Amino acid sequence: MKLLEGKVAIITGSGRGIGKSMAELFADEGAAVAINDIDADVCNATVAELKGKGFKAIACKADVTKDEDVKKMVDDTVAAFGTVDILVNNAGITKDAMFHKMDDKLWNFIQDVNLLGTILCCKHVIPIMQAKQSGKIVNTASTTGLMGNIGQTNYAAAKGGVIGFTKGLARELAMHKINVNCYGPGFVETRLTAVKADGGDRSGLGIPKGVRDSGISAIPFGRIGQPVDVAKVALFFASTLSDYVTGEVISVSGGLLI
């Protein structure tokens, strides 16, 4: 028996990276998946790949920070597959700077994508789950949200917010048999941890080689995480294996954070 047979999952930010790996794993475990991304090209490409393997998938291009986009994503998923059983709030982004150089725009952008996006997706999915008294909400934090990191006060605040939000929501939704949990990846091989071309400027995606090398050398398992390492933990939270678990945070960091 497959772990997600007959289930319907929305996975935000699943056009690439960790979310894409999760979509592949969930589909392989029997779920119909709504692939969301702000980037239509990767969103459509991932859906084409999944359909090519015989899986059920639809593309939902949407910006998770926009209420009307999120509503449409949820409506389209219900129209295609009938319901929503699982929501994984995976969409997230970094934009690093030392706190004294961080302007409001940079601060708010990171809160919006990582925290507000999570909140809006929950807002639109919860009524569907409440109506059937079941559902799995899986949120994405980060070891940065648990231990902080230089140059990432904006991201630490947003991911710390995701953890607090998860715990509060878990308490509110337990009476409706809806589980709300959260995982915090450490260092995972995606474009967020790729070496930045210019090496020294941390204002965009990616990190300088020195930061990446020293980060990986601090991991007790001795290797960077792969997207599927995180996808497996999300699968645990999305499946019946975690039916009696709620409000938890699992660090997926190869021992970086114990």
Ligand X SMILES: NC(=O)c1ccc[n+]([C@@H]2O[C@H](COP(=O)([O-])OP(=O)(O)OC[C@H]3O[C@@H](n4cnc5c(N)ncnc54)[C@H](O)[C@@H]3O)[C@@H](O)[C@H]2O)c1
Could you tell me where the DSSP H helices lie in 112-226? 117-132, 143-147, 153-173, 209-217
Could you say which of 42, 60, 126, 235 contacts ligand X (CB under 6 A)? Answer: 42
Between 37 and 76, name the residue whose CB sits nearer to ligand X: 37
Name the one residue in this structure whose structure tokens are 């660090």: 251
Q: How many CB atoms within 10 Å of residue 10?
A: 29
Look up 155 and say whether it is catalytic.
yes
The one-letter amino acid at 198: D
**Alpha-carbon distances, residue 178 vs 129, 171, 251 (angstroms):** 7, 10, 21
Region 166-195 residues binding ligand X, contact defined as CB under 6 A: 185, 187-188, 190-193
Residue 33 contacts ligand X per CB under 6 A:
no
What contacts 235, CB < 8 A, 6 or more positions away?
3, 4, 22, 25, 26, 29
What is the separation of C-alpha 186 from the centre of its chain, rounded to a whole number of angstroms?
13
- CA dist 60 and 230 (Å) reads 22
Residue 251 contacts ligand X per CB under 6 A:
no
At closest approach, how far in Å is the CB of 146 from ligand X?
10
At closest approach, how far in Å is the CB of 68 from ligand X?
13
Residue 229 contacts ligand X per CB under 6 A:
no
Could you say which of 31, 113, 178, 211 contacts ligand X (CB under 6 A)? Answer: 113
Between 89 and 239, name the residue whose CB sits nearer to ligand X: 89
Residue 153 contacts ligand X per CB under 6 A:
no
User: How is 187-220 classified by DSSP, letter by letter?
Assistant: SBSSGGGSBPTTSS--SSSSB-HHHHHHHHHT-T
At closest approach, how far in Å is the CB of 139 from ligand X?
9
Between 160 and 185, name the residue whose CB sits nearer to ligand X: 185
Residues that bind ligand X (CB under 6 A): 12-13, 15-19, 36-39, 42, 63-65, 90-93, 113, 117, 140, 142, 185, 187-188, 190-193
Active-site residue list: 155
